[in-house]
């Protein structure tokens, strides 16, 4: 088991672990957060940020769609890790805690700015007859032709615009699921939602994106 | 209290396109119980509209992943 000793010097508190700096860099995320919480170790913070800065930035950028906001989120989250390391529960996964900090910050930033308008997803959901069958028939299978019919850049633009029309939480669910590949229970933990709510939001967001692509291809949304 | 353990996933009927559409996410992530999964597949065999919807839903997931990850 590692031992930790603390020495004061002119630069403040110095944390020594019975490991070389190289060994410290091999420490688990959870052990580094403990060092930050207990000894205010800036070295441990720097190591955590080395590991996660890019992921924090990427997730923040996908949620905010703005490079400056994403940079701000990285800064703010770095400070929050330092300040709130003590609130990290060691029985939970560090990445889940980190995603929570990142998405909270990104979503709250979006809400403050109120930069975007979200659309009602209901307008893009499939419609059904009273007997439960598709109202708009036939449903066209455009899955094999989309990339032949529409240029890559245009598909990208349709998806990016549609993503911006989702609410901040729905967008975050899509980012965590499709890009970060978190499971639905993990997303639920990050966002404080039930698994059922995560699935519902993800399903509706996917159907919305699907409808947006269908309409751009000249087909019915449903 | 002893007794038969509760099944986490109840068998769901898949009689209509509305039923099938509501189960798409769980079908694709292989979360449906075997009975419901088999009901879902039976519906697909007789419903080209749901097959088309399923294929385009999957394609949307694929494109979303691919384009969002690129940037």
Residue contact B21–A199, C-beta within 8 A = no
As given in the structure block, the two tokens for residue A137 are: 């028939």
As given in the structure block, the two tokens for residue A177 are: 């699921």
Note whether A75 contacts B: Cβ–Cβ < 8 A.
no
Beta strand pairing call for A4-9 and A12-17? antiparallel
Q: How far is it, in rounded angstroms, from Cα A196 to Cα A147?
A: 33
- Strands (DSSP E) contained in chain A are 4-9, 12-17
Residue contact B63–A213, C-beta within 8 A = yes
Residue contact B18–A133, C-beta within 8 A = yes
Q: Which of A186, A141, A191, A135 is nearest to A167 (CA)?
A: A191
Pair A82, A138 in one domain: no
B19 to chain A nearest CA, in Å? 8
DSSP string, A48-108: HHHHHHHHHHHHHHHHH--HHHHHHHHHHHHHHHHHHGGG--TTS-HHHHHHHHHHHHHHH
Mutate to test the interface with A, among B8, B10, B13, B18 (most CBs of A within 10 A): B18
Q: What Å distances lie between residue B35 and A199, A201, B32, B40, B43, CA to CA? A: 21, 25, 8, 9, 13
Task: Work out the average pLDDT over B43-53.
Answer: 96
Task: Map residue A17 onto helix, strand or coil.
Answer: strand
Write the CATH number for A56: 1.10.1740.10
Residue contact B56–A178, C-beta within 8 A = no
- Could you tell me which residue, A222 or A14, shows the higher pLDDT? A222
Domain end (from A85, A113, A141): A113
Q: Which of B33, B27, B12, B14 is nearest to B58 (CA)?
A: B27
Mutate to test the interface with A, among B31, B51, B59 (most CBs of A within 10 A): B59
> What would the pLDDT profile of A157-214 be if each residue is shown by its tens digit?
999 999 988 989 999 999 999 999 999 999 999 999 999 999 999 999 999 999 999 9
Domain boundaries, chain B: 17-70
Note whether A146 contacts B: Cβ–Cβ < 8 A.
yes
Check residue A116 and give its pLDDT.
53
A86 to chain B nearest CA, in Å? 33
If one counts the domains in chain A, the total is: 2
> What would the pLDDT profile of A47-82 be if each residue is shown by its tens digit?
999 999 999 999 999 998 888 889 999 999 999 999
* Interhelix angle A152-165/B48-70, nearest 10 degrees: 90
Check residue B3 and give its pLDDT.
40
Domain end (from A82, A113, A144): A113
8-state DSSP, B30: T
Write the CATH number for A185: 1.10.10.10
Pair A174, A127 in one domain: yes
Task: Work out the average pLDDT over A16-32.
Answer: 70
Per the structure, the complete domain to which residue A140 belongs is given by 121-216
Residue at A17 is within a domain? yes
Kindly tell me if the per-residue pLDDT of A18 is higher than 80.
Answer: no
Residue at A222 is within a domain? no
Pair A175, A103 in one domain: no
Domain end (from A74, A91, A113): A113
What are the beta bridge partners of residue A15? Answer: A6
**Average of per-residue pLDDT values in chain A:** 85
Residue at A221 is within a domain? no
Q: How confident is the model at residue B1 (pLDDT cuts 50, 70, 90)?
A: very low
Q: How confident is the model at residue A115 (pLDDT cuts 50, 70, 90)?
A: low
């Amino acid at each position: 088991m590692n031992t930790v000793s603390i020495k004061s010097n002119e630069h403040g508190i110095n944390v020594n672990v019975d490991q070389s700096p190289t060994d410290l860099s091999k420490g688990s995320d959870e052990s580094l957060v403990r060092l930050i919480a207990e000894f205010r170790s800036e070295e441990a913070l720097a190591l955590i940020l080395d590991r996660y800065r890019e992921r924090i930035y990427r997730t923040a950028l996908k949620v905010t769609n703005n490079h400056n906001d994403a940079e701000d989120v990285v800064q703010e989250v770095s400070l929050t890790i330092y300040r709130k390391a003590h609130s990290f529960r060691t029985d939970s996964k560090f990445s889940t805690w980190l995603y929570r900090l990142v998405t909270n910050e990104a979503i709250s930033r979006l809400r403050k700015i109120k930069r975007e308008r979200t659309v009602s997803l209901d307008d893009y959901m499939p419609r059904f007859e009273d007997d439960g069958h598709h109202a708009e028939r036939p449903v066209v299978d455009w899955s094999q032709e989309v990339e032949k019919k529409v240029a890559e850049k245009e598909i990208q633009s349709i998806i990016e615009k549609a993503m911006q029309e989702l609410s901040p939480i729905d967008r975050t669910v899509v980012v965590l699921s499709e890009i970060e590949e978190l499971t639905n229970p993990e997303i639920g933990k990050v966002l404080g939602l039930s698994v059922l709510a995560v699935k519902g939001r993800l399903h509706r967001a996917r159907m919305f994106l699907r409808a947006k692509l269908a309409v751009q291809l000249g087909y019915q949304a449903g | 209290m002893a007794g038969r353990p509760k099944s986490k996933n109840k068998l769901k009927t898949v009689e209509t396109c509305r039923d099938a559409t509501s189960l798409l996410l769980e079908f694709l992530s292989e979360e449906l119980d075997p009975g419901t999964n088999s009901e879902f597949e039976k519906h697909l065999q007789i419903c080209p509209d749901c097959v088309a919807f399923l294929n385009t839903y999957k394609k949307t997931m694929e494109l979303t992943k691919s384009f969002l990850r690129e940037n």
